Amino acid sequence: MKPALVLVGRPNVGKSTLFNRLTRSRDALVADIPGLTRDRHYGHGKLGDKPYLVVDTGGFEPVVKSGILHAMAKQTLLAVDEGDVILFVVDGRQGLSPQDKIVAEQLRKRTDKILLVVNKTEGMRLSIMTAEFHELGLGEPCAVSAIHGDNIGELIDLALTDFPLEEETDLSAEQHPKIAIVGRPNVGKSTLVNALLGEERVIAFDQPGTTRDSIYIDFEYNQRQYTLIDTAGLRRRGKVLETLEKFSVIKTLQSIEAANLVILVLDAHNHISEQDAHIASFIVETGRALVVAVNKWDGLDEYARETIKYELGRKLAFLDFASLHYISALHGHGLKRLMPSVDEAYAAAMAHIPTPRLTRTMLAAVAKQPPPRGGMSRPKLRYAHQGGSNPPLIIIHGSMLEHVPATYRRYLEHTLRKAFDLKGTPLRVEFRSGK
Ligand code: GDP
Ligand code: GDP
């Protein structure tokens, strides 16, 4: 699992600025997907070969309710409990504030993985800036400037010290789907897991001391092999209701990262929410294969069904590459069709397309509709090859390709997706200009 860095601190100390710094390396290829929610509260980052996740709790709720005991609300505390390193951010220009002390106190009670970050230190004498923060008893502060990018590399290095450089598992080498089942609380994830695994196996797993802490569960469905990634403890929850406060952003992100395929579960008895869209966006950004399951399709009248379909089209249009299933996990309806879509999406994500076929298809698309001129020059697309899988990455070579507009990239994506039957996986098209 990638380590999760969690940003905590009172408002205006520079958390979201720092967040942007830490997630600079985010994938530019997904920047132009229309409808994708630009959530600025969680994202990916990488320092050298060390990948990590970043969560900014600043967006979760006000951190401090003026001096009362409960300085941080539940979502933040949950993120603190589940994060790997807490970056406690303070403002070096304002100096130590009473609110900082309250937050520090709360943090110290819960965790010892705190790194004190003194921000806004550009152009200042560091020893003077950081001196007063020693009082917080959180060890040596790390001075940075989020705006100028000063000392950010050192900060990440420090934060990741205890995380050895792990060899990134080559997802494209997996032999079968590694599935994360994600969605908001109460949409029916546990029920779906139980239905897929079969009740008996779930009971077996619940024996204390057996596989209790294992998050990878191998199972078979219709004689096919799958692995379920269960960071959120779905299989042992059974009928216990999870409250909104217990929704774990970090576990959701980590299981999406660890999977090669995601089943996104939505609740037909509720509206499609912003949180649904945020999770969906993260899945697409991460490039995972995807199957969408609209659950609780039982007991709905025609009007309610049409309403949900309309909302799906409007709010999650960017998921149109994925198969959509209306299911009832409770009654076991629709699973027989759901799982073949899982196989199909997995196969698409792992597809290997030979260079000649790719090039031929790309050139045919260009002949049918050439790219528009960019200023004085017309981009020239010469050949295409596949640069990776899960998701498939198509690299198109030629000249003046920096002038190819996003709409044209989408046209090519669409054409390639259709030609090679890539249902259920994001597809990345990258341009490389030679001289
Ligand atoms: P948040 O509320 O903690 O997320 O803080 P923001 O990231 O929104 O930043 C609050 C203000 O501090 C903004 O006006 C930022 O431009 C400013 N700020 C953030 N980082 C720095 C920094 O490194 N130096 C200075 N001088 N200002 C900063
Ligand atoms: P989770 O929090 O996403 O894991 O959701 P659960 O699996 O715990 O389900 C939440 C509630 O929704 C429980 O009361 C389930 O019985 C109910 N539920 C789950 N699937 C269905 C379904 O297909 N139809 C109906 N009507 N209720 C369901």
- Tell me the per-residue pLDDT of 153-207, one tens digit each, with 9 for 90 and over: 999 999 999 887 665 555 555 689 999 999 998 899 989 998 998 854 554 444 4
User: Looking at the predicted structure, is the pLDDT value of residue 40 above 90?
Assistant: no
374 band by pLDDT with thresholds 50, 70 and 90:
confident
Of 182-186, 260-264, 316-320, 375-379, the poorest mean pLDDT is in 375-379
User: Looking at the predicted structure, is the pLDDT value of residue 221 above 80?
Assistant: yes
pLDDT attached to residue 163? 85
Looking at the CA of residue 19, tell me the nearest atom of ligand 1: 7
* CA 292 / ligand 2 centre spacing (Å): 16
Q: What is the mean pLDDT of the chain?
A: 86
39 band by pLDDT with thresholds 50, 70 and 90:
low
Which residue owns the Cα nearest ligand 2 atom 16? 330
Above pLDDT 70, what percent of the chain? 84
244 band by pLDDT with thresholds 50, 70 and 90:
very low
Residues in binding site: 9-16, 56-60, 119-122, 183-190, 230-234, 295-298
pLDDT attached to residue 214? 59
Three-state secondary structure of the chain: CCCEEEEECCCCCCHHHHHHHHCCCCCHHHCCCCCCCCCCCEEEEEECCEEEEEEEHHHCCCCCCCCCCCCCCHHHHHHHHHCCEEEEEEECCCCCCHHHHHHHHHHHHHCCCEEEEEECCCCCCHHHHHHHHHHHCCCCCEECECCCCECHHHHHHHHCCCCCCCCCCCHHHCCCCEEEEECCCCCCHHHHHHHHHCHHHHHHHCCCCCCCCCCEEEEEECCEEEEEECCCCHHHCCCCCCCHHHCCHHHHHHHHHHCCEEEEEEECCCCCCHHHHHHHHHHHHHCCEEEEEEECCCCCCHHHHHHHHHHHHHHCHHHCCCEEEECECCCCECHHHHHHHHHHHHHHHCCCCCHHHHHHHHHHHHHHCCCCCECCECCEEEEEEEEECCCCEEEEEEECHHHCCHHHHHHHHHHHHHHCCCCCCCCEEEEEECC
Which residue owns the Cα nearest ligand 2 atom 6? 188
Q: Give 186 or 291, the one with higher predicted confidence.
A: 291
Residues in binding site for GTP: 9-16, 56-60, 119-122, 183-190, 230-234, 295-298
Query: Which one of the ligands is nearest to 152 CA?
Result: 1
Of 69-78, 104-113, 342-351, the poorest mean pLDDT is in 69-78
- As for ligand 1, residues whose beta carbon falls within 6 Å of it are 9, 11-17, 58, 119-120, 122, 145-147
Mutate to test the pocket of ligand 2, among 186, 196, 252, 266 (most ligand atoms within 8 A of CB): 186
72 band by pLDDT with thresholds 50, 70 and 90:
low
71 band by pLDDT with thresholds 50, 70 and 90:
low
Query: Which one of the ligands is nearest to 20 CA?
Result: 1
User: Looking at the predicted structure, is the pLDDT value of residue 269 above 60?
Assistant: yes
* CA 146 / ligand 1 centre spacing (Å): 7
According to the per-residue pLDDT averaged within each range, which of 63-77, 95-109, 380-394 is highest?
380-394
User: Looking at the predicted structure, is the pLDDT value of residue 27 above 70?
Assistant: no
Looking at the CA of residue 187, tell me the nearest atom of ligand 2: 3
